[in-house]
Structure 1
């Protein structure tokens, strides 16, 4: 056994300080992570250790697991950018009639079952965009469903021998060192019991604990359901030609409020009875930004920009296609040259290259064609253009660009490509035909080269917190193992438990391993403790199986930190979680599983 020396003590201090600072969140996670790596490099420069070199401490930032997580996030961004799973989400919501628990609980239970037989990571990758889309369709924060997704996958992986690589690792070591042969369903009965107890907490309690956080842009955009006045010009090729009103409304435009149909000189006002839209009609609607974006990005767009009037063409660039379009909001500035003018009179399109998709006026909603509205100071214009054209609006003195409002229009026409790429990556990862890192990197490249994402959108999907967390945690795990710190903790446990009843030993082992597995990798904790628990079982004259199964469950109890397991890191960015969210929601689950196992295992294994 290693004695507690100075490098080991300093390593413990760095790891403990890092965890505390992560939890307090008073300093950025990225800063704390870099500080931890720097501290470890300094410690092992002063106290050299062949197993802990600067290159080794930095190797976590190029680890295949890190590359895999980042690439999977980019692939998920490709699905989001193309709205590839929108229909799936709507079907689920319709089946469950909009009840949040009915919509998410069956999906999560399916995830748990699949995770018992497949690698957890591709299962979470497959269902993450589906659950995100369901949450968005229901107007709920993804934070309520994505951490439960990761936790359910981990719980499902605890129930069979192949549910997790940790399970197989412990079984292989035990096979070599003992006569215990863990089979596929050896620990399934007690595993299902633990997973069931954990699932009750995850499904019914955890969503109430989680804080629904959004980015600043999402908070600003979601703070009001403000309506823009927009107009749809019905041309001969328009998809609305022949649409008939039903019960005074137009079902095709269910996300919009039709305020006026202008037919030549004749205005037709609601309620609309027996009105059939025909070429030459102008339909004036009030709609949210989301509804207008969907109308613009559909395979057959309902909107074509600038009120559907092609009379103005920008001199510097053609209007971007819907696949490259960015939406933003601008406010008509005081003393703007646009004041008192209509859109056609203003020359806004010709000057900026941006198309006005809608007008929002705080004081009243005018019932007239959008091109007839004379602009006033304070009017909000919803504009569409390329990213460069939108960026140039910052220098325009007539309008004030609201930077937070910028967002790309979903590239729905690329949705089939994105789905094919996603399913291919999933199939390759699940079947093991190629390593998951190869499948993930290839999928990322395919998303970009096929046009589902551009490089800027792909880079934006990379969460710097995840990058720094993984790199730093791997440096800490290396330092703990190489300095003897992890072995010191394990052997101290043996000495502490000497003479205790087997049931107490099982409970203590579970708790210690469950704590360590949230800061080391699951596999590292399993490898470290497998020979120790076999030794403890031999000392007390008990069957090693109970202790090995205890180790499997405890090493899988990686719920309290995002660095505890790869699926936690995958959901961290899309769910906008903080380190403290995992501590707050995951720690009770670890305690629940520990207490359940401590009560059931001695009876189950007759100890």
Structure 2
């Protein structure tokens, strides 16, 4: 490799890179601002101080710096996020998740390990964010059965999802970006399973650590959090009329309680004209019973997803209208306002459903325990209603003077009748990409379009799946990579590293390069790290005269070692709240995993590719 003479533009590029790292590390600066500022500085530098080649043409242009925002790898990431959102919005993963919950009742310890394996394998072919979102409540429930708190399973859940992304080309956005940068730099095409073997070795090495050692390093802080629990643990009163197909039929009370209904508290049973109140002695639930159940919103939503016709509205009617209108349903909480017309009336008397088009599923009253059927309950100011309706009807409650809509509580009800469509589309995307019939970019875009056309999700939900932070940071990282390569900075860094390690075996240089990337990815974005170091990896391999694939894998696997900080990967941020983690928890539990993966990489990859 020819020695590169440093230029002013190169040093300014290095300065912008260091500034970007510092900005990304500073929590008070939004990632979007840091990314756009980085791109703006690069545009200014190469506009005011143009760098030209031997033929007088600019080596770094405005078009090249902004091309990252239309990069096929970035478009692929956005499309895969939409495909994953389609699975979430249809509840396509809830069937398998529910089966794991049933298995966990008998074999909780083995089921936790099985869940980790499932998450790791699924994350190899699907964006891991929706996978982690789906498994957070499952892992919390299984952790309780093991006598463990959420802290013992939440961070491991995130880590196994990240490890699973090492096994295929589409396992993570990092893989796609690094391979895209590799292709732009002149590298050969990388097949879907080309690095599955080394990726699997690293993934299972990390899994062994996650299962055996990591729980000993985590601290349970959920005790105090539960004492201070707010809305997440509040219970609503729901009304259920037992049909013959309802699984609650046949449940028998033991010592005054119903042990088969662990997450539910039965407040009253209306059996014809008779009212049965706790404690219940020798009572068996029958078809036709109207049961008043106290439960959290999440528990009842899970039951509603499993049996859409199970709940009876507070007016005493099933929710047929919202089922027949073909629209998507939304659930939200609304507080009865002072001086509301609902105060002192039952819902049937108020005409709430006829006026708003929303069905009241449950009621929460903090002042005292409710022991009456919801259809007969006289509402009071301050009662919280759990309402369900189309998005238009629910959002129209913002202008209703009788209730105060809590918009932050609004969430979509999964359209489970479309789940088979989403599953088939997802399977088609994976199989088509894996077989090489179509490029991954085309496959992902077609999959996203099919999710929209088949109504697995709407445009609003698809737009919400596209994270603007990911979009801006990837665009900025690609701009930095373009500047680094155009100024010769990548080649200069590669030459400097070789000079420092001159005389060392190739596997030593490869190992050191991996460790550098792995440490930097926890400060800088993993996507930015992958884009910045891929051209350097290719330059190093060219300088040493060895195949570039091991050095490309050092970038991919190293950039995926996002374990030591919560902001290094999105799934880490997802589990931080339910696990009640502090920043130091990630440093304490994640740092050893980085070095363990580094050790496994150093031992296996050089041997696997014949570098020792």
Is the TM-score greater than 0.5? yes
Count of residues in correspondence between the two structures: 555
Q: For residue 216 of structure 1, what is the aligned residue in structure 2?
A: none
**Among 444, 450, 460, the residue aligned to 2:448:** 444
| 2:73 and 2:441 in contact (8 A); partners too | yes
Selected match of 1:26 from 11, 18, 28: 28
Alignment pair present for 1:301 and 2:303: no
Q: Does the residue aligned with 2:401 lie in a helix, a strand or coil?
A: coil
Of 532, 536, 553, the residue aligned with 2:543 is 532
| Cα distance in 2 between the residues matched to 1:396 and 1:186 | 57
Q: CA deviation at 1:511?
A: 4.4
Q: CA RMSD in A?
A: 4.5
- Change over 3 Å in CA distance of 1:318–1:130 after alignment to 2: closer
Q: Which residue of 2 aligns with 1:289?
A: 297
**1:242, distance to aligned residue in structure 2 (A):** 10
Separation in structure 2 between the aligned mates of residue 467 and residue 362 of structure 1, nearest angstrom: 44
Q: How does 1:85-96 map to 2 (within 5 A)?
A: 85-96=93-104
User: Secondary structure at the residue paired with 1:384?
Assistant: strand
Equivalences for residues 72-221 of structure 1 within 5 A: 72-97=80-105, 102-106=110-114, 108=116, 123-125=124-126, 129-130=130-131, 132-139=133-140, 144-154=156-166, 197-203=205-211
Instruction: Find the counterpart in structure 1 of residue 143 from structure 2.
Output: none
For residue 556 of structure 1, give the secondary structure of its aligned residue in structure 2: helix
Show the counterpart of 1:459: 463
SS of residue paired to 1:407: strand
Equivalent position to 1:277, from 286, 299, 305: 286
Structure-2 residue corresponding to 1:51? 59
SS, match of residue 233 in structure 2:
coil
Separation (CA, whole Å) in 2 of partners of 1:233 and 1:596: 57
Report how far residue 87 of structure 1 moved: 2.3
Question: Mapping of 1:459-478 within 5 angstroms?
Answer: 459-478=463-482
1:384 aligns with 2:388: yes
Q: Displacement of 1:256 after TM fit?
A: 3.3
Q: CA deviation at 1:294?
A: 3.6
Which shifted more, 49-58 or 400-409?
Answer: 49-58
**Alpha carbons 2:340, 2:402 under 8 Å: kept:** yes
Q: 1:192 & 1:480 partners in 2: Cα distance?
A: 32
* Distance of aligned partners of 1:606 and 1:309 in 2 relative to their CA distance in 1, 3 Å threshold: closer
Quote the offset at 1:135 in angstroms. Answer: 2.6
2:339 to 315, 335, 341: 335
How many Å apart are 1:524 and its aligned residue? Answer: 2.8
Contact 1:333-1:377 at 8 Å conserved across structures:
yes
Per the alignment, do residues 199 and 254 of structure 1 end up closer, same or farther by CA in structure 2, a change over 3 Å counting?
Answer: closer
Q: 122-131 vs 225-234, which deviates more?
A: 122-131
Among residues 274, 292, 298, which one is paired with 1:266 in the alignment?
A: 274
Q: 1:244 aligns with which of 245, 250, 255?
A: 250
Equivalent residue of 2:5, what SS?
Answer: coil
Offset at residue 78 of structure 1 (A): 1.5
SS at match of 1:123: coil
Is it true that 1:484 corresponds to 2:492 in the alignment?
Answer: no
Q: Give the conservation status (yes or no) of the 8 Å contact 1:526–1:552.
A: no
Post-superposition shift, 1:198? 4.2
Q: Residue 559 of structure 2 aligns with which residue?
A: 558
| Distance across 2 between alignment mates of 1:174 and 1:351 | 64
1:596 CA displacement: 6.2
Deviation readout 1:247-290 (Å, 9 max, x if unpaired): 467788665333323234222335264656345x4332222212
- Distance in 1 (CA, whole Å) between partners of 2:285 and 2:560 is 58
Q: How does 1:340-489 map to 2 (within 5 A)?
A: 340-489=344-493
Distance in 2, Cα, partners of 1:439 & 1:92: 30
Cα distance in structure 2, aligned partners of 1:275 and 1:509: 67
Matches within 5 A, 1:6-25: 6-25=8-27
Distance in 2 (alpha carbons) for counterparts of 1:337 and 1:174: 70
| CA distance 1:99–1:282, shift in 2 (3 Å) | closer
Q: Secondary structure at the match of 1:308?
A: coil
Provide the secondary structure at the position in 1 that maps to 2:559. Answer: coil
Worse overlay, 336-345 or 145-154: 145-154
The alignment partner of 1:125 has SS state of coil
After TM superposition, the structure 1 stretch with the greater mean CA deviation from structure 2, 479-488 or 43-52, is 43-52
Q: State yes or no: 1:5 paired with 2:11.
A: no
**Cα 1:555–1:275 shift into 2, 3 Å:** closer
* 1:526-582 Cα deviation digits (max 9, x unpaired): 322111222xxxxxxxxx68x9857744663213569xxxxx97857866899x999
- Worse-superposed segment, 72-81 or 504-513: 504-513
Distance 1:501 1:309, change over 3 A: closer
Superimposed CA distance per residue, residues 494-521 of structure 1 (whole angstroms, 9 cap, x where no aligned partner): 2233356777656545545667885243
Deviation at 1:408, TM superposition (A): 1.1
In 1: Cα distance, 2:543 partner to 2:97 partner: 48
User: How far 1:603 sits from its partner (Å)?
Assistant: 11
The TM-score normalised by the length of structure 1 is 0.77
Q: Counterparts of 2:194 and 2:64 in 1: how far apart (Å)?
A: 38
TM-score calculated relative to the size of structure 2 = 0.76
CA deviation vs aligned residue, 1:365-387 (integer Å, no higher than 9, x gap): 22111122111121111111111
CA distance in 2 between partners of 1:243 and 1:78 (Å): 34
Q: Equivalent of 1:225, from 224, 233, 251?
A: 233
Q: How far apart are 1:200 and its partner, in Å?
A: 4.0
Deviation at residue 145 of structure 1 after TM alignment: 1.7
Residue 484 of structure 1 deviates from its aligned partner by 0.6
1: CA distance, partners of 2:306 / 2:200: 45
Deviations 1:435-476 (A, max 9, x none): 111221111111122122111111111111111111111111
- CA–CA distance in structure 2, aligned partners of residues 242 and 499 of structure 1: 73
Whether the 8 Å CA contact 2:397–2:405 is kept in 1: the answer is yes
User: Is contact 2:495–2:540 with CA below 8 Å preserved after alignment?
Assistant: no
Distance 1:548 1:446 in 2: 34
Deviation at 1:595, TM superposition (A): 5.5
Q: What's the CA shift for 1:39? A: 0.5
SS where residue 14 of structure 2 aligns?
A: helix
Check 1:124–1:23 CA distance in 2 against 1; reply closer, same or farther (3 A cut).
farther
User: Which ranges of structure 2 fall in alignment gaps of 5 or more residues?
Assistant: 52-57, 141-149, 170-174, 222-227
Cα gap change, 1:156/1:382 in structure 2, threshold over 3 Å: closer, same or farther?
A: closer
**Residues 1:302 and 1:482: Cα distance change in structure 2 (over 3 Å):** same
1:69 is displaced (CA, Å) by: 1.2
